[in-house]
Structure 1
Amino acid sequence: MTERGSETLSEVTARLSRESTEAYAGSRFSALSQDYFSRFSRDPAVTAGSGETQIDASWEILHALSAGDITRRMAGHLVEFLSQVMGLDLTIREVADLSGEGAQRIVLREEGGGVPDQTGSFTLDVRPSDLRVEGNDPDGLRDGIVKLVDAMAGRQAPVLTIGCQIYRPRLGVRLTNVPHQGSHRDVVFLGYNAVFAGGGDLYALSRSTAIPELIDRQQVAQPEPPLAARQYGLKTYAFVNTRQKFAGDHPIFAAHPDARGALTWSADGEYTLCTEHALVQQYLRESVRDIFETDPDLDGLVLIIGGESFYHCFMRPYGVEKGHTNCSRCEVVGAETVVANLLNLLAEAVQEVNPQAEVIAWPYSAEHVWSKDRSQQGMIEQMKPGTGIFTEIEKDEFVEKADGVRKHLWDYSIDLIGPGERAAAQAKACRDRGLSIYMKSEPELGFEAARLPHIPCMDRWAARAEALASCGADGAWVFPAFRPLYGTSAAEVNKHFWWDPVPPADDVLTALAGRITGEAESGRRLRRAWRHVSEAIEWSPELSPYYTGPTYLGPAHPMCVDPAAELPEVFHGLYLFRAEAQDAEGLKRHPTFFTEPRGDRDVFEVFYRRMEASLRQAVEEVAAIEPYVPDRCRLGFDAEVSSVRWFYHTMRTTANFYESCRRRDATAGCSADPDADRKRWVEVLEDEKENTLAALPVARADVRLDFYYGSDHTFPHLEDMLQAKLVLLDEELIAVRQEGPNPLKPGGPETV
């Protein structure tokens, strides 16, 4: 990583954003997030069979003269799909009356379909010589067109099964991010009806003059309303924060000393503003009202009130126990009341402008920072109408495994499907009070292997999609919190479970695998590969610390034959997210590796070997079909293979690291058979060299794997780390192969 010691945090993040954008745009896999239709292709051998109808160039698309903007836009996208993917150029005709019969027509209606009293429902009526997509409303028609496109894409031809089916949405709000370098069109075709829009630093967005000392933080231009989202009828939520805190000598505290809130993070840390102070409350009220006066159509304001982002006096106070604060005013009020008061205050201000809008609180890590109970019951009991919660479906639960392993899901995971006990308790508490409850899931990431573009355990993602829809939440918020949305198969699977009737999960995944590979038999093998990856997750013993160790670095992780050796700088990186405390913390370099295994070393080693074995089976399955996948399916298939292979190389490295450390310690200690331990140690290191070499072409082919473009962290480029690792391995192998003094004892050779 190039040294740029004079850069500020904002300069570093801006530069990395530019570089990441350019690098990703040059990757072939960027098509998956830039153009949703790029994953589809037509199989020229497929034609209509018994009970099917086939669209051809003689057909046309009809909608009413009175059709709204959403319908017109979606009709245009249907034309795009048929032309781009199916090779059919159909025209759109506007008519005064859609009730008549006719042939070779795709009729799009904004009313008359679905279930009369259910917003967003629709009917898909396929007849022998025409078809109708009829929504209960424009949103229903929009989603009906998505269903129509999926049906043809899955068949790999403009062929549809004859029949009439009513579809009903199972979730009122389905929120995600715009795919990386993509558009709101792709949000819709991924099955969502809501996005984040606007938002940011509340101090920058504010127009309040209640505290003159904060005016210099205001940005000159206000963000434009999210017109692109609303052209599709998408709901919009603004995510706001107050992360930029205040030095003790900031002018605000000279003018208003009693507005000083808690000292945060460290003895030399920064201060937050006290949200129980009347002037601060006036400022907050006016600031959020400013946001909604600028954009009164916003559906909600979202803020993290747990362990980061939107600060109050119980968030990371320095020098006190959990549930306490160093702000004397708030200490006597109590954490649950202070946070509930903040939410109620903001909701009142928001609803002065838009009575239908909500303030949605995300209690991320609240149980570790300030909450008396793990499900924030005390806070929820004091929240008023107009507020709500969104919460992680699996976070902060424990998964009991064999051999006494108790895996703590301290962050995002695809091990527990959910909802966990904490999320279920929060949902019940919200329902009891008539508050909205939304469930959060990552669309592609799990910290079992956080560098993968997606964890290709599709059985688990399908089960998660079903859990999100059936848990009783008001919505599913499935967006990446740490990185871009890559638009992988994991991201697209959710929608197949979010409308009734729901097809069997195995049918969905078998059809998806067949579409990705181009034909049924290859699809069955990809389907088996996904099962093997899902089985591997069962043997994952822990979630390692953020972006550290072999489960993150994979084959770039050094073997640390000498744990006391100083490793090259290439194995150190910037953890930019540490700027949550102060900007300077995000610019400090830290080791990215472990020198010692974690947890119950012997048990974890067995678990990682079992993960490796399952993933090897997955690699064998995709390797067997790789020569037979047609060129038209290469993009989607290669995206699957990249994640499968990298996951395998990652767990092979992790297992090798654990065993290498065990053999290292045995030869340095009281080994019963030091020669056998040394021999096996050499074999493990040789295997790791082979693994690292095999991983190089995977790394070169997929920029999404490169740690340099880590979003909230940045390390040296992946290939540079792999090459440095290979140099280290050669040196380490020389040291370990020697006969005589142990390389780790006095008198042994230098290994690094």
Structure 2
Amino acid sequence: MMHNSLLILDRLEAANNEPYNRLRRDPHRHAIKLERSVMKLSNVNYLEGQWSVVLEGKLEGMEEAAIDLKDYMQRIGVDIASNASNFFILREDSAVAAGSFCRDVNENAITLSASDISGLWASIVYLEKEISALGTLALPIGRIERAPSWKKQISQAPYGANYLVPDLDDIYLSDDAFRLLIHYGINGMIIYGDWLLYVNNAHYFELNHPHYDHNIAILKKAAKRAKKFGIALYFVAVSPKLDGNHPIFSRIPSMKGAKISPGLKETTKEIYNLCSSDHDSLNFHGETMAGLFREVPDLGGLILIIGGESYYHCFMRPDMTHIDVNLKTNCMRCQTKTPEQAVNALLAATATAVHKVKPEASVMAWPYSAFVWSSDPAQVELLESLPKDVALLSTIEKDELYWKDGYKKRIWDYSIDFVGPAANLLKQAEVVHKRGIPLYIKTETAIGLECIHIPYMPALHKLGYKWEQVSLMKADGVVQSWMFFGMWGSRAEELGWWKNWKPDLAIDEILNIMANRDFGEDALSYIRAWSYMSEAASHFPYIPIYFTGPEFIGPAHPLVFDEEFEQKPYFEARLYYLQENEETFSTAVNEVKHSLALTKLPYSHMNSTMIADEGVDLVQLVISEYELACDYAKAAFKEIQTLTYPMELRSRNFAREEHVIIEFVYRSLLTTLHTYKFLLAKEQSDRELMLEITRLELANTEQALALIAKAPWLDLNRRTDGDFPSSRVMMEVKINNLNKELAAR
């Protein structure tokens, strides 16, 4: 992924017309003024009278935590005053386990105790959620002790905040971003980018970055600001990909590793990664990463993707043109090793160096798409010799063959349909648990690749069942999202807090709590709508092509009558993920645009991601599955369509957002169904059917355009994982084109 922070900043400032560092999502949006119970019980504190917040300790971030607690209490109707006779006490207590807390409630004091700032924030969030869910100003007198089910919960940055290094100062990543994260139980945040930005090495001086001092200072400040909110930054480090004529290769030829497969543009330049078997190369990796933690001690750890991208080795993306089919790399030194030997040597060099500086830092190896080089599908051979101070990070659902009615669906990436656990993960977990190696689970808490065009899929039963599977893995930590849309602060993401801190509650109980809290007397209707949406998600037939087709463009997707349609430039984008085969700091992804629209049925992709039962037509199967998905989504839409927005601020805001997202999902699925039917009719030269579908889709798109006006955050142009055209503009162009086609025939 390329470094595009300035583009992100310009786009979002222009779109929102407000300061970039002022997030639109409110951590306390569940807080409304609450009533006290009329009937008083002797063992309950009703938070009557005046209260003050007192700090007992010197934990960095205590003042921010106190401000947050005061803010919440004032919103719900508690009288906060500096000279009060009742006290909220935030106490540093070394006897409490890290990340955990104790709460003592008596008649005139509520004491929240923790040994670290993460635990103290956890106690405040727990208190706030408990009161909001209860719906009344009351806390039982007595002592409770709480610990999370998993210690580390790591997320993408919030929507509207940057995650790309080095631009992590407060104009790109505000304190409000960290405050939002911690209110959803998240104590870790992913940052991403090229680690060459942090090189200042006397021996490997050719690779020094000219702005090292500035870059490291920004990272240090960001990590320090995050720490005040109990959050650590985890760096997804992207390795150098260098011109074969780079000066470092001229001076130390042995550092030149595999020639990488060609990228987006035709060029005579050959690109190489650093060799994963060379002493100097391994030494350089170790020194750089150790230096990072020495200079930025508040970093939480490293996430090293060693499968198909990011933390490069000579087996990752080698150009195998004219290379013996029995070999797995074009690097002569690495050909003498197995991939597992080379990768584990790279991980050992990295982790050993890091842990000499910061022993508690998490170094996670993530074999995402490692099937391209590994000796077995579950990477068991790799894990059996994985360095013991390296943790495994693996996905809950990826690389499974999911058996469904009439076909098998390849879960080649994140899915909202299949909740896991994947068979490969179970094998991996068995190995690492036996060896005493920490296990982290990667999941998607709000979406799947079947629906990455929205901030969250309101299929909360389905998402809840996935969290239950995550919980059953007994992991040391969870990475709950990749960097697709941005953490949104939705009920979908809140599910992760409930399963971590209230693991004994069933998903139905959690959904009842959230629905009653947010929608009051209409709660049952929203629960039914979520159930229908969960059924809809169960009929997504396959994981579509990245960032392409109606599943991604939604109702803006055109119906293309002719292969080379005039409006094609309106439906093109720059796709940042394609940076993988480009030179470090290359601007190639800014120079090449890709069509987002399907102009014909994607047979190749369907055949590679679906296996139909004997006698079942694949295209008809896809259409029939989308028909069922549409039916369920329509039922969800109808369930809440007639509900009015109550006057209470809480319900009005929540209801409006949920109405919009449910209808938008329905209209996206309708566009998807219409597109596949249209392309089949086009293939069969059935012009009458094409026109009939066009009329239906025209009406659907007009309704969707009205939704974009109500909720501009649904516009693809707001995304930060690519440079996408405006959904509103695409819809307007599409509507104009469909009207022309109908008028001409």
- TM-score normalised per structure 2: 0.87
Q: CA deviation at 1:268?
A: 5.1
Spell out, residue by residue over 1:213-238, the C-alpha distance to the aligned partner (whole angstroms, 9 max, x if none).
22256634213251122223434433
**Where do 1:48-87 residues align within 5 Å?**
49=39, 53=44, 55-56=46-47, 58-61=49-52, 63=54, 65-66=56-57, 68-83=59-74, 85-87=75-77
Spell out, residue by residue over 1:336-374, the C-alpha distance to the aligned partner (whole angstroms, 9 max, x if none).
11110000001111122122323211211111x211212
**1:539 and 1:48, CA in 2 relative to 1: closer, same or farther beyond 3 A?**
farther
2:155 maps to what in 1? 176
Spell out, residue by residue over 1:507-527, the C-alpha distance to the aligned partner (whole angstroms, 9 max, x if none).
21112122222x1x2111111
**1:17 and 1:422, CA in 2 relative to 1: closer, same or farther beyond 3 A?**
farther
What is the SS of the residue equivalent to 2:123? helix
Please, which of 196, 201, 224 is the counterpart of residue 194 of structure 2? 201
d(CA) in 2 for partners of 1:92, 1:365? 56
Spell out, residue by residue over 1:29-58, the C-alpha distance to the aligned partner (whole angstroms, 9 max, x if none).
98553x3113432356x7455659564561
1:543 maps to what in 2? 543
2:329 maps to what in 1? 325
The answer as to whether partners of 1:31 and 1:38 remain within 8 angstroms in 2 is: no
d(CA) in 1 for partners of 2:19, 2:620? 40
- 1:36 and 2:27 matched: yes
In structure 1, what residue type is equivalent to 2:361?
A
The answer as to whether partners of 2:459 and 2:530 remain within 8 angstroms in 1 is: yes
1:512 maps to what in 2? 514
Please, which of 226, 234, 239 is the counterpart of residue 237 of structure 1? 234
Please, which of 638, 642, 648 is the counterpart of residue 666 of structure 2? 648
The answer as to whether partners of 2:157 and 2:483 remain within 8 angstroms in 1 is: no
1:745 maps to what in 2? none
d(CA) in 1 for partners of 2:196, 2:117? 37
Spell out, residue by residue over 1:585-617, the C-alpha distance to the aligned partner (whole angstroms, 9 max, x if none).
553122111122343111111111111111111
d(CA) in 2 for partners of 1:431, 1:248? 42
Spell out, residue by residue over 1:404-463, the C-alpha distance to the aligned partner (whole angstroms, 9 max, x if none).
2x2222222121222211222222222222211101112322111111111111112222
d(CA) in 1 for partners of 2:461, 2:326? 39
d(CA) in 1 for partners of 2:327, 2:6? 36
What is the SS of the residue equivalent to 2:409? strand
**1:233 and 1:564, CA in 2 relative to 1: closer, same or farther beyond 3 A?**
closer
d(CA) in 1 for partners of 2:530, 2:22? 22
What is the SS of the residue equivalent to 1:692? helix
The answer as to whether partners of 1:528 and 1:621 remain within 8 angstroms in 2 is: yes
Q: CA deviation at 1:293?
A: 1.4
- 1:148 and 2:127 matched: yes
d(CA) in 2 for partners of 1:476, 1:249? 41
2:186 maps to what in 1? 192
**1:530 and 1:192, CA in 2 relative to 1: closer, same or farther beyond 3 A?**
same
d(CA) in 2 for partners of 1:700, 1:527? 26
**Where do 1:519-668 residues align within 5 Å?**
519=520, 521-563=521-563, 565=565, 567-582=567-582, 583=586, 584-585=588-589, 587-598=591-602, 599=606, 600-628=618-646, 630-668=648-686
2:460 maps to what in 1? 458
1:3 maps to what in 2? none
**1:217 and 1:432, CA in 2 relative to 1: closer, same or farther beyond 3 A?**
farther
**Where do 1:401-416 residues align within 5 Å?**
401-404=404-407, 406-416=408-418
**1:144 and 1:631, CA in 2 relative to 1: closer, same or farther beyond 3 A?**
closer
**Where do 1:630-709 residues align within 5 Å?**
630-668=648-686, 678=688, 680-709=689-718
Please, which of 52, 75, 88 is the counterpart of residue 78 of structure 2? 88
Q: How many residues align?
A: 699
Spell out, residue by residue over 1:490-539, the C-alpha distance to the aligned partner (whole angstroms, 9 max, x if none).
1122111112552232121112122222x1x2111111111111010111
2:251 maps to what in 1? 255
d(CA) in 2 for partners of 1:162, 1:684? 63
User: Structure 1 regions of 5+ residues with no counterpart?
Assistant: 1-7, 95-102, 669-676, 739-752
**1:19 and 1:129, CA in 2 relative to 1: closer, same or farther beyond 3 A?**
same
In structure 1, what residue type is equivalent to 2:389?
G
**1:255 and 1:536, CA in 2 relative to 1: closer, same or farther beyond 3 A?**
same
Q: CA deviation at 1:699?
A: 1.3
What is the SS of the residue equivalent to 1:171? coil
**1:551 and 1:105, CA in 2 relative to 1: closer, same or farther beyond 3 A?**
same
**Where do 1:342-491 residues align within 5 Å?**
342-367=346-371, 369-404=372-407, 406-491=408-493
What's the RMSD between the two structures over aligned residues? Answer: 3.0
Q: CA deviation at 1:316?
A: 0.6
What is the SS of the residue equivalent to 1:493? helix
Spell out, residue by residue over 1:144-188, the C-alpha distance to the aligned partner (whole angstroms, 9 max, x if none).
221110122224443446675443311121222442343322222
In structure 1, what residue type is equivalent to 2:122?
D
**1:403 and 1:732, CA in 2 relative to 1: closer, same or farther beyond 3 A?**
farther
What is the SS of the residue equivalent to 2:329? coil
2:501 maps to what in 1? 499
**1:93 and 1:543, CA in 2 relative to 1: closer, same or farther beyond 3 A?**
farther
d(CA) in 1 for partners of 2:649, 2:297? 48
d(CA) in 2 for partners of 1:705, 1:138? 35
d(CA) in 2 for partners of 1:700, 1:131? 46
In structure 1, what residue type is equivalent to 2:212?
Q
d(CA) in 2 for partners of 1:513, 1:30? 28
- 1:210 and 2:189 matched: no
Q: Which has the larger radius of gyration?
A: 1
Q: CA deviation at 1:203?
A: 1.7
Spell out, residue by residue over 1:545-581, the C-alpha distance to the aligned partner (whole angstroms, 9 max, x if none).
1110011111111122344645431122222221221
**1:127 and 1:418, CA in 2 relative to 1: closer, same or farther beyond 3 A?**
farther
The answer as to whether partners of 1:206 and 1:218 remain within 8 angstroms in 2 is: no
**1:296 and 1:140, CA in 2 relative to 1: closer, same or farther beyond 3 A?**
closer
1:14 maps to what in 2? 6
The answer as to whether partners of 2:401 and 2:410 remain within 8 angstroms in 1 is: yes
**1:609 and 1:385, CA in 2 relative to 1: closer, same or farther beyond 3 A?**
same
In structure 1, what residue type is equivalent to 2:485?
R
**1:220 and 1:70, CA in 2 relative to 1: closer, same or farther beyond 3 A?**
closer
**Where do 1:107-126 residues align within 5 Å?**
107-111=89-93, 118-124=97-103
**1:334 and 1:730, CA in 2 relative to 1: closer, same or farther beyond 3 A?**
same
Spell out, residue by residue over 1:376-431, the C-alpha distance to the aligned partner (whole angstroms, 9 max, x if none).
22222222222112121111212221122x22222221212222112222222222
What is the SS of the residue equivalent to 1:253? helix
Identity, in percent, stands at 27
**1:150 and 1:697, CA in 2 relative to 1: closer, same or farther beyond 3 A?**
same
What is the SS of the residue equivalent to 2:220? coil
- TM-score normalised per structure 1: 0.86
The answer as to whether partners of 2:96 and 2:102 remain within 8 angstroms in 1 is: no
In structure 2, what residue type is equivalent to 1:634?
R
Spell out, residue by residue over 1:280-339, the C-alpha distance to the aligned partner (whole angstroms, 9 max, x if none).
222222211211210234342222111111211111101255970000100111211111
d(CA) in 2 for partners of 1:322, 1:86? 67
- 1:713 and 2:722 matched: yes
Q: CA deviation at 1:723?
A: 0.8
The answer as to whether partners of 2:576 and 2:722 remain within 8 angstroms in 1 is: yes
What is the SS of the residue equivalent to 2:328? coil
**1:307 and 1:41, CA in 2 relative to 1: closer, same or farther beyond 3 A?**
same
In structure 2, what residue type is equivalent to 1:576?
Y
The answer as to whether partners of 2:570 and 2:725 remain within 8 angstroms in 1 is: yes
1:742 maps to what in 2? none
Q: CA deviation at 1:22?
A: 4.3
